[in-house]
Amino acid sequence: MKIKPALLKCALVASMGGLLFGFDTAVISGAEGILKEIYASRYMELSNFLGTKSFWHGFTVASALIGTIIGALIFGKPADRYGRKKMLIVLGILYLISAAGSALSFNWSFFVIMRFIGGLAVGGSSVVAPMYNAEISPARYRGRMVALTQFNIVLGIMLAFLSNYLIKSLDLGEVSYRWMFGVEIIPALAFTILMIFNPRSPRWLVSKSLLDEAKKVMGRLGADTENIDKEIGGIVASLKSDRETLSEKFFQIKYIKPILLAVTIAAFNQLSGINAVLYYAPRVFTMAGFGEDAAFLSSVVIGFVNLIFTMSALLIIDHFGRKKLMLYGSIGYIVSLVTIAITFFVNGKEFSQAGGTVVLVGLIFFAASHSFGQGAVIWVFISEIFPNKVRARGQALGSFTHWFMAAAISWSFPVLAEISGGFIFSFYAFCMVFQLLWVLFKMPETKGIPLEELQKKLGL
């Protein structure tokens, strides 16, 4: 059977939350250099209180990620109480407020608050958008519909880089950063309005005993009309099981292995330096001797590579396996990061054209390695290693670790970059050597293993 157009439309609309997620996290890369100049005097004032100017600039860039950590933690319960659809509309409004507020900001404090609000929306979207798509989709289409969110995240990152480049090419001066953030108003407004016309999640409707509406939605979105009552019964049984498992303690000895696996893969994901590259891409290229226009254009190339290799990996992950992709990705990380580090050490602050080219090629290889390995594997792997009883809490822990480390890496980059580009990329390479050892000796393969058998393999 073909996917019903109504299902595809609803899933694409909800997946725009992922596109805004990607756009909002990457758009800062084009503006951070301008913001550093605009808020230089403010950073000087703050540095007298705590930290250096680079410390406070890192905080400004990471303010959205701090919001993301909180957003990922707080939007799950409201989504259960008020519905996934309503929460996605609320998140769309938060994206709108953040985009408009960041573009119209009149001082540093207001800008940081607006970016924090955008981070709340990103964190909430990372939880609610995939949840909504999973719950509106018949089982046979669920994987593809949920994958739309991941596709839109990397598409949003690429669009942010492209938008930044186009705005930068207009030579608008200091106000260019306002346009970079303001552009997000358009997709945020479209997402908020279109979500109003999407149906409510059938699973949520069943949880509120709105069975007639749930049946209508399921029929409209492609469920087998002869088996709708059976599917409703399955949802009821699942909800009952979910309520029973809430009493199960999460942090206990028997779950220590999947907990450590989830925390480790999520931490390594960010210790690769991927968010530093995404958030500071033009600055990295400028450090490597590129002119401003070339630096912004090179960032677009990184976004395109990220998109292509992420989708390639998602297409083959069930054939190649999670561990093999992580192995290839780890080797790619080490080769690319060591190459970039050596190039920075050799060239210092006076980059030759050849040195700049090596950094560009190295970063392209780095982005491809991330997208083909960690970028594709992390969320699939974390969702598989926890038993049903604690899977939701396990994914929440993995998400929290990921965003916490993302904030730490983005916050620390300006401080570490002042030492030298070679030092910071050497640090990321050093961390990836440990990831390679972890993949070889600690990471279990989960491909094609039923979840019940996997629990036995992990000693649960």
**Computed from CA positions of residues 401, 404, 406, 412, in that sequence, does the dihedral angle turn out positive or negative?**
negative
Supply 5's token pair.
């157009």
Distance in angstroms (rounded) separating the CA atoms of residues 297 and 285: 10
What is the distance between the alpha carbons of residues 310 and 321, in angstroms, rounded to a whole number? 15
Taking phi over 0 as left and psi of -120 to 50 as alpha, with beta for the rest, 173 belongs to left
What pLDDT score does 451 carry? Answer: 64
- Listed by start position, the domains of the chain span 1-198, 252-460
What is the reported pLDDT for 137? Answer: 80
Assess contact for 247 and 389: CB atoms under 8 A.
no
The three-class DSSP label of residue 426 is helix
The answer to whether residues 400 and 72 touch, using CB atoms and an 8 Å cutoff, is yes
CA–CA separation, 7 vs 321, rounded Å?
Answer: 29
CA pair distance 347, 47, nearest whole angstrom: 31
pLDDT of residue 249: 84
Residues in the chain: 460
One digit per residue, pLDDT tens: the chain, 460 residues?
577 889 989 989 999 998 998 999 899 999 999 999 999 999 998 888 777 889 999 999 999 999 999 998 888 888 888 999 999 999 999 999 999 999 999 999 999 999 999 999 998 988 888 888 878 887 677 767 767 877 888 899 999 999 999 999 998 988 999 999 999 999 999 999 999 999 998 888 988 889 889 889 888 887 766 678 787 887 788 777 766 666 778 889 989 999 999 999 999 999 999 999 988 999 999 999 999 889 999 999 999 999 999 888 878 887 888 899 999 999 999 999 999 999 999 998 888 899 999 999 999 999 999 999 998 888 888 878 888 778 778 888 888 899 999 999 999 999 888 888 999 999 999 999 999 999 999 999 988 777 667 778 887 6
Query: Quick one: 1-198 is in which CATH superfamily?
Result: MFS general substrate transporter like domains (1.20.1250.20)
Domains 1-198 and 252-460 fall in the same CATH topology: yes
Residues 6 or more apart whose Cβ sits within 8 Å of residue 40: 53
Say whether pTM exceeds 0.95.
no
pLDDT at position 410: 92
Using CA atoms, how far residue 221 sits from 7, 14, 197, in Å, is 5, 14, 14
Interatomic CA distance for residues 450 and 147, integer angstroms = 20
Block residue for tokens 């990061």: 337
The residue to which tokens 């990184």 are assigned: 302
Which CATH number does the domain 252-460 belong to among 1.20.1250.20, 3.20.20.80, 3.40.50.300, 1.10.10.10? Answer: 1.20.1250.20
* pLDDT given at position 342: 97
Helix axis angle for 391-419 and 53-74, nearest 10°, is 170
> For position 321, what pLDDT does the model report?
86
With beta carbons less than 8 A apart as the criterion, state whether 136 and 6 touch.
no
CB-CB contact of 415 with 54 (8 Å): yes
